Amino acid sequence: MPKHPVLVVALAAAVVIAAAPTLLSQPMPPAPQAAPAPAAPAVPAVPYPMTMGDMMNTLVQPRHAKLGLAGQAQNWPLAGYAVAEIRQVFAGIAKALPKYRGYPVSELADAALSQPLNALQDAIRLQDPQKFAVAYGQLTQGCNACHAALFHSFVVIKAPDAAAFPDQKFAPGQ
């Protein structure tokens, strides 16, 4: 071991400098690759089940309003179509959600709506605005009777006093 510390440093420097060209002319080993991030576990898409409130809000309420608007405009074909849509929607709701908090939806809907829907069909067939208004009032009472029976008496339905569908014509004719 050389005794002089300065000499030791000089020798070490000389080795590094001598080695530098060799080191630089060598292809550099590839930089260690960062391990690929583990793929995030796939989150499966979960279908969104419609609640009773969702179905009421999206399927039932607009049809009830459209039926009222069509009847007020004496647009009998459109009113007849809305009645059929309401029947169909409730049939679908009863299948999608047979029980609401343990209560049978199909039976409750029948009890609340069957008679008024039949009366509406008669009024539409007769093209009778008075009969239509009475039957529409009964239908609306049916909606509210079921709401009261199923703990939602605060959801109060009424005949529409304004059209919420600016892109649909309710007056009869093309």
Least distance (Å) from ligand HEC to the CB of residue 155?
Answer: 5
| Token code pair at residue 85 | 């849509």
Segment contacting ligand HEC by CB under 6 A, of 32-40, 49-57, 71-79, 130-138: 49-57
Least distance (Å) from ligand HEC to the CB of residue 32?
Answer: 57
Classify residue 166 by burial, with Cβ atoms within 10 Å: 0-12, 13-18, 19+.
exposed
- Tell me which residues in 99-158 interact with ligand HEC (CB under 6 A): 100, 105, 108-109, 112-113, 143, 146-147, 150, 152, 155, 157
Least distance (Å) from ligand HEC to the CB of residue 45?
Answer: 24
The residues, any chain, with a CB within 8 Å of residue 142's CB and separated by 6 or more, are: 112, 113, 115, 116
For residue 159, CA distances in Å to 33, 36, 57 come to 69, 62, 16
The residues, any chain, with a CB within 8 Å of residue 8's CB and separated by 6 or more, are: 1, 2
- Tell me which residues in 6-45 interact with ligand HEC (CB under 6 A): none
For residue 143, CA distances in Å to 28, 50, 60, 73, 85 come to 79, 19, 10, 22, 15
Pick 16 or 53: Cβ nearer ligand HEC? 53
Pick 12 or 107: Cβ nearer ligand HEC? 107
Binding residues (CB under 6 A) for ligand HEC: these are 51-53, 56-57, 60-61, 64, 86, 100, 105, 108-109, 112-113, 143, 146-147, 150, 152, 155, 157
